[in-house]
Amino acid sequence: MASSDDIVTTSNGLGYTSSSAAHPETLVKPPAAPSASEDTIEIRIEFGGGLHLLFSSQPSHKIRIPRYEPGNADQLPQAVTMRYLVSWMKSNLLSEREEMFGDGDGVRPGILVLINDADWELEGELEYELKDRDEVVFISTLHGG
Protein backbone atom coordinates (compact mmCIF):
# COMPACT_ATOMS: atom_id res chain seq x y z
CA MET A 1 0.00 0.00 0.00
CA ALA A 2 2.92 2.31 0.65
CA SER A 3 4.10 2.10 -2.91
CA SER A 4 1.19 4.06 -4.37
CA ASP A 5 2.23 7.32 -2.72
CA ASP A 6 5.92 6.88 -3.24
CA ILE A 7 8.06 9.82 -4.11
CA VAL A 8 10.56 9.30 -6.85
CA THR A 9 14.10 10.38 -6.10
CA THR A 10 17.51 9.70 -7.49
CA SER A 11 18.92 9.67 -4.00
CA ASN A 12 20.75 6.79 -2.34
CA GLY A 13 19.07 7.44 1.02
CA LEU A 14 22.48 7.63 2.67
CA GLY A 15 22.61 11.32 3.49
CA TYR A 16 24.99 12.76 0.99
CA THR A 17 24.72 14.16 -2.50
CA SER A 18 26.93 13.22 -5.37
CA SER A 19 28.56 16.66 -5.25
CA SER A 20 29.76 16.03 -1.71
CA ALA A 21 31.36 12.78 -2.81
CA ALA A 22 33.23 13.47 -5.98
CA HIS A 23 34.75 10.01 -6.36
CA PRO A 24 32.06 7.57 -5.39
CA GLU A 25 34.11 4.43 -5.38
CA THR A 26 37.65 3.40 -4.76
CA LEU A 27 39.21 0.01 -4.92
CA VAL A 28 41.28 -0.57 -1.82
CA LYS A 29 43.82 -3.30 -2.10
CA PRO A 30 44.64 -5.44 0.90
CA PRO A 31 47.89 -4.43 2.57
CA ALA A 32 49.93 -7.12 0.86
CA ALA A 33 48.99 -7.78 -2.75
CA PRO A 34 47.35 -11.20 -2.81
CA SER A 35 49.14 -13.92 -4.70
CA ALA A 36 47.15 -15.73 -7.34
CA SER A 37 46.75 -18.73 -5.08
CA GLU A 38 45.34 -16.74 -2.17
CA ASP A 39 41.61 -17.21 -1.73
CA THR A 40 39.87 -13.87 -1.27
CA ILE A 41 36.33 -12.51 -1.42
CA GLU A 42 35.08 -9.19 -2.65
CA ILE A 43 33.08 -7.01 -0.26
CA ARG A 44 31.38 -3.78 -1.12
CA ILE A 45 31.18 -1.19 1.64
CA GLU A 46 28.99 1.90 1.69
CA PHE A 47 28.97 4.69 4.26
CA GLY A 48 26.02 6.89 5.11
CA GLY A 49 25.06 9.63 7.52
CA GLY A 50 28.39 11.38 7.12
CA LEU A 51 30.49 8.35 8.14
CA HIS A 52 32.45 8.48 4.89
CA LEU A 53 34.30 11.48 6.34
CA LEU A 54 36.21 9.01 8.53
CA PHE A 55 37.14 6.93 5.49
CA SER A 56 39.05 9.31 3.22
CA SER A 57 35.70 10.94 2.34
CA GLN A 58 34.88 8.04 0.04
CA PRO A 59 31.28 6.87 0.48
CA SER A 60 31.75 3.64 -1.43
CA HIS A 61 34.56 1.10 -1.32
CA LYS A 62 35.18 -2.25 -2.94
CA ILE A 63 37.67 -4.35 -1.00
CA ARG A 64 39.14 -7.85 -1.07
CA ILE A 65 39.72 -9.77 2.13
CA PRO A 66 40.69 -13.39 2.79
CA ARG A 67 37.87 -15.91 2.51
CA TYR A 68 38.97 -17.68 5.68
CA GLU A 69 40.10 -16.46 9.06
CA PRO A 70 43.87 -16.56 9.23
CA GLY A 71 44.60 -19.26 11.79
CA ASN A 72 46.30 -22.52 12.41
CA ALA A 73 46.74 -24.65 9.35
CA ASP A 74 45.61 -27.77 11.19
CA GLN A 75 42.17 -26.35 11.98
CA LEU A 76 39.21 -26.43 9.61
CA PRO A 77 39.00 -23.23 7.58
CA GLN A 78 36.68 -20.71 9.23
CA ALA A 79 34.84 -18.19 7.05
CA VAL A 80 35.64 -14.58 7.93
CA THR A 81 32.99 -12.79 9.95
CA MET A 82 31.82 -9.20 10.36
CA ARG A 83 34.14 -9.08 13.38
CA TYR A 84 37.07 -9.64 11.03
CA LEU A 85 35.78 -7.06 8.56
CA VAL A 86 35.30 -4.35 11.21
CA SER A 87 38.79 -4.95 12.53
CA TRP A 88 40.18 -5.02 8.96
CA MET A 89 38.46 -1.71 8.25
CA LYS A 90 39.97 -0.15 11.36
CA SER A 91 43.48 -1.10 10.28
CA ASN A 92 43.16 -0.62 6.52
CA LEU A 93 40.36 1.76 5.66
CA LEU A 94 39.75 4.15 8.54
CA SER A 95 41.59 7.39 7.95
CA GLU A 96 40.81 9.27 11.17
CA ARG A 97 39.17 9.34 14.58
CA GLU A 98 38.85 5.63 15.26
CA GLU A 99 36.72 6.31 18.35
CA MET A 100 34.00 7.70 16.08
CA PHE A 101 33.63 4.30 14.41
CA GLY A 102 34.80 1.48 16.63
CA ASP A 103 33.79 0.36 20.08
CA GLY A 104 35.57 -2.71 21.43
CA ASP A 105 35.71 -5.13 18.52
CA GLY A 106 32.38 -3.86 17.16
CA VAL A 107 31.04 -0.53 15.99
CA ARG A 108 29.93 2.36 18.11
CA PRO A 109 26.34 2.37 19.36
CA GLY A 110 24.37 4.66 17.06
CA ILE A 111 25.93 3.32 13.87
CA LEU A 112 23.44 1.22 11.92
CA VAL A 113 24.75 -1.71 9.91
CA LEU A 114 22.99 -3.41 7.01
CA ILE A 115 24.23 -6.58 5.37
CA ASN A 116 22.78 -7.03 1.88
CA ASP A 117 20.10 -4.50 2.83
CA ALA A 118 19.06 -6.33 5.99
CA ASP A 119 19.49 -4.99 9.53
CA TRP A 120 22.57 -6.79 10.83
CA GLU A 121 20.74 -7.45 14.10
CA LEU A 122 18.84 -10.08 12.09
CA GLU A 123 22.03 -11.52 10.62
CA GLY A 124 24.04 -12.33 13.72
CA GLU A 125 25.90 -8.99 13.87
CA LEU A 126 29.64 -9.60 14.42
CA GLU A 127 29.24 -13.36 13.99
CA TYR A 128 27.84 -13.07 10.45
CA GLU A 129 29.98 -15.09 8.01
CA LEU A 130 30.81 -13.04 4.95
CA LYS A 131 30.37 -14.35 1.44
CA ASP A 132 31.83 -13.17 -1.84
CA ARG A 133 30.11 -9.98 -3.10
CA ASP A 134 28.31 -9.21 0.14
CA GLU A 135 27.36 -5.57 0.51
CA VAL A 136 27.72 -3.93 3.90
CA VAL A 137 26.32 -0.47 4.68
CA PHE A 138 27.27 1.57 7.74
CA ILE A 139 25.09 4.58 8.58
CA SER A 140 25.84 6.97 11.40
CA THR A 141 22.92 8.40 13.32
CA LEU A 142 25.11 10.31 15.74
CA HIS A 143 24.61 13.83 14.59
CA GLY A 144 22.01 16.35 13.77
CA GLY A 145 18.67 15.95 12.13
Partner 1 sequence: MPPTPCSLCHTARALVKRPKTGQQVCKDCFFEVFETEVHNTIIEGKGIFERGEKVAIGASGGKDSTVLAHVLSVLNKRHNYGLDLFLLSIDEGITGYRDDSLETVKQNQVEYGLPLKILSYNELYGWTMDKIVEQVGRRNNCTFCGVFRRQALDRGAAQLNVDHIVTGHNADDIAETVLMNIMRGDIARLGRCTAVTTQSEDTIKRSKPFKYAYEKEIVMYAYFKKLTYFSTECIYSPDAYRGHARVFLKDLEAIRPSAIVDIIHSGESFVLEQSVQKGMKAMQTCLRCGYISSNDLCKACALLEGLEAGLDRSALRQTQDSSTAAPVGHRTIPMFERYSKVGIAQPTEGIEKGVQAVEIR
How far is residue 46 CA from its own chain's centroid?
A: 6
Minimal distance in Å, beta carbon 5 to partner 1?
5
In this structure, are residues 46 and 60 in contact, taking their beta carbons and an 8 Å threshold?
Answer: yes
Considering only 35, 70, 76, 144, the residue that binds partner 1 (CB under 8 A) is 144
Nearer to partner 1, 21 or 64 (CB): 21
By CB atoms closer than 10 A (0-12, 13-18, 19+), residue 74 is exposed
What are φ and ψ of residue 61, in 5° steps?
-135, 145
- Asked if 40 is part of the footprint of partner 1 (rule: CB under 8 A), the reply reads no
Kindly identify the residues of this chain, within the stretch 119-138, that bind partner 1 according to CB under 8 A: 119, 121-124, 128, 137
Q: Nearest distance from residue 1's CB to partner 1, in Å?
A: 7
Q: Nearest CA to 93 among 44, 23, 133?
A: 44
112 lines the binding site for partner 1 (CB under 8 A): yes
Per-state percent for the chain, helix, strand, coil, to nearest 5: 20, 30, 50
Segment interacting with partner 1, rule: CB under 8 A, options 5-13, 33-41, 76-84, 87-95 = 5-13
Q: Does 70 bind partner 1 (CB under 8 A)?
A: no
How far is 140 from 145, CA to CA, in rounded Å? 12
Kindly list the residues in this chain that would bind partner 1 in the complex (CB under 8 A). 1-3, 5-17, 20, 48-50, 53, 108-110, 112, 114, 117-119, 121-124, 128, 137, 139-145
